[in-house]
Structure 1
Amino acid sequence: MRPQKIDDTRLIEGLMSVLQSKGFEGASLNDLAQASGLQKASLYHRFPGGKNSIALMVLQFVNDWIKDHIYLVLTDKEVAPAKKLSRAVRNIRDLYQNGEKSCILNALSLDSGLVVVGDEIGKAMQLWIDAFTAFGIEQGFTPAQAKAKATQSLILVQGSLILAKGLGDPAYFHKAMSDLEKLFNNS
């Protein structure tokens, strides 16, 4: 029998969905195989390092997503600042399905003892902060003000996702996204 073929994006999204909902420790290989569309043996073949390799691949996807959908959007010199911020906010809304999805960075940081996972989570968060810092500087804030606002943007989004999940109300996420847009208003 030929190995099952699966689209990489679908594979990553399926694996990420399980990790978002169950965390690293809570996700079983059976859960991951089912969500990925692969047989367990195929999952082992593709990820010989098991869940560690899966978590690292998902985090690389997240880093690439932040680079493409936040960093490159917010640092594009050919787009008006208001449009860049609006586009970045829309991308964040899409990623977290308007507050219905948990944050993968939070899910993996809670219970994974893997140092390398922590390093990748830190890289993703730093890339986010760098993107919003560059945007804030472009908006006329001092580097210190821009970095503080960038850090606050991460806290707003991540904190609101935790509240939305914990209290079962995505309104916290919606409010945070509105507050994020106001955060960089230089009036």
Structure 2
Amino acid sequence: MNTSDLLTDAFGRVREAVHAAVEGLSADEVNARTDAGANSIAWLVWHLTRVQDDHVADASGGEQVWFTDGWADRFDLPFDRAATGYGHTRKEVGAVRVASADLLLGYHDAVHERTLAFVGGLTGKALDRIVDEAWSPPVTLGVRLVSVVADDLQHAGQAAFVRGALGRAHGG
């Protein structure tokens, strides 16, 4: 297995986990919070997708799908359009409300396609490129992509947990 195949598989697993957590849910279910301090499925999937979009765009030298494909306008969230959810307060988490599960999955799938287009052309040597010098040691492309996959899978798992908790709360 080569580098691009490995990364394609990893990001494919993220997509599968996101779809499993979101598909078939109503807008009310996607936006529900188990309590006032909890993350909703909408926030978790929006956040993991925003971070992936931001980091892949930065690493590839491209623009974020959030802006270029009009997703920021479609979501119409009440805070800075560049926000990714990092450091969000309870109130900001609660403000991430989506009109439908399809909107959430549409954005995720668009970012997934852009991600695959980028990682599909990578070789092992490319992963050594420094993409962020703000850290010590500086962050390589390989470390950044593994970090995104790990974070995405954690949040997708949290979304699956919330889905299960909501199902049990409603007798499912």
TM-score scaled by length of structure 1: 0.30
Which of the pair has the greater relative contact order for Cα pairs under 8 Å at 6+ separation?
A: 2
CA radius of gyration, larger in: 1
